[in-house]
Structure 1
Amino acid sequence: MGKLFDALLPEHQEFIRRQHLFFVASAPLGPEGHVNVSPKGHDVFRILSANRAAYLDLTGSGNETSAHLLENGRITVMFCAFEGPPNILRLYGSGQVHLPGSPEWEELEPLFPALPGSRQIITVDIRKVQTSCGYAVPFLSYEGERETLQRWSAQKGEEGLREYRREKNTVSLDGLPSPLGLEHG
């Protein structure tokens, strides 16, 4: 059965550090809006304290999480054990987007690897931590990170990435503005 905690315990933090993949979920307020779930790889998740975490968000085909956070701040981050003992860990909280050049970006960016296509840092103020059994999660072997996104980003270059973000990352599927849209608007 699931257990709830008000903060990350040391064993939760150790579990998170061992994972190669996490999922981010967010949704707009409207009942017709699309719920978004995004898988995240690479070494981009950091625990800042027992009630605060951050991840480096890379340029992608959409920017749903960012738009949802601007509208309502709700975010869930989920980690699953694909190796070792079964476990699922969810972080429930509110998130905020920090763009390059902001004071928060300048403070947090050194915590992450320099990856091509870095577009924003998402911080999560954690209100609840939930663990559950994970008995139905299959075993999967980690072979390594895909380098496709990094190669694509490097090939685009900074100006190409800015143009791509202007075209693809300024509004959500539901027409909500993202912080990148406000920056370019």
Structure 2
Amino acid sequence: MAKQFERIEDGHRTFIERQHIFFFGSAAGDSRVNISPRSTQHFHVLDDLTVAYLDLTGSGSETAAHAKAGGRATAMFCSFEGPPLILRLYGRARVDFRGSATYKAFLARHYRSGEPLGARQVVTLDIDLVQTSCGFAVPTFEHTGERPVLDNWAEKKGEEGLRAYRQEKNLASIDGLPTGFAEA
């Protein structure tokens, strides 16, 4: 049975910390719903109503476009190891782009050794509902590690190549919604 909560509780935080993957879904108006799998390596619980992740350069920027359009967003965690559980964090996303004051403050707080290669924005979810459900149908999987492919790709592109790629691929969603991205 699903249970709803007003905020992230200690048990939810512990569950999130044990996961290796989460899924982030977003939409705005009549746009397509976008769902992306993400490593929890860059996911941070900021407080009991706010989470954020450092988003690395990718082929699209649907979440930024949906956030700019005031769209809804959901972060979902599934237990693939141990007792079954699904945890969803519902709310509205906002995006702080690379170079902005908020982005720089986030990096200073969570990445003292410096900006990870390929980083492009921070996606923050302001939570209005937390929900758990049984997860009985979620299969079990064993985590064997992170893929180095994106890091290798970013390293090969270099800073100027990444900047050019973001200008080419990250200015609008697949539905033509503007992302608000501007390289600082």
TM-score by length of 2: 0.94
Residue of structure 2 in register with 1:104 after alignment: 102
Corresponding residue for residue 82 of structure 1: 80
2:9 maps to 9
1:28 aligns with 2:25: no
SS state at 1:179 partner:
coil
The amino acid that maps onto 1:12 is H
Structure 2 CA distance for partners of 1:153 and 1:163, relative to 1, 3 Å: same
Equivalent positions of 1:4-153 (< 5 A) are 4-30=4-30, 33-110=31-108, 111-112=110-111, 114-153=115-154
Q: Tell me how large the CA RMSD over aligned residues is.
A: 1.2
In structure 1, C-alpha distance between the alignment counterparts of 2:103 and 2:122, rounded to whole Å: 7
Offset from partner CA, 1:128-183 (integer Å, 9 cap, x none): 00000000000000000000000000110111001111111110010000021xx2
Unaligned runs of 5+ in 2: none
Distance 2:52 2:105 in 1: 12
Asked if structure 1 preserves the Cα contact closer than 8 Å seen for 2:86 and 2:135, the reply is yes
Tell me if the contact between 1:36 and 1:64 (Cα under 8 Å) persists in the aligned partners.
yes
Paired residue secondary structure (1:56): strand
- Aligned residue pairs total 180
CA distance in 1, matches of 2:180, 2:24: 17
Q: Cα offset for 1:42?
A: 5.0
Work out the CA distance in 1 between the residues paired with 2:25 and 2:33: 7
Moved over 3 A (4+): none
CA distance, structure 2, for counterparts of residue 103 and residue 8 of structure 1: 26
- The aligned residue for residue 170 of structure 1 is 171
- Give TM-score scaled by structure 1 length: 0.94
Q: Distance in 2 between matches of 1:122 and 1:156?
A: 23
* Structure 1 pair 41–172 and aligned structure 2 pair: CA distance change class (3 A): same
- Confirm or deny: 8 A CA contact 1:22 1:80 kept in the other structure: yes
- Helix, strand or coil: the match of 1:134? coil
Q: Partners in 2 of 1:42 and 1:12 — Cα distance? A: 14
Q: CA deviation at 1:115?
A: 2.4
Q: Structure 1: where are the runs of 5+ without partners?
A: none
CA distance in 2, matches of 1:28, 1:105: 23
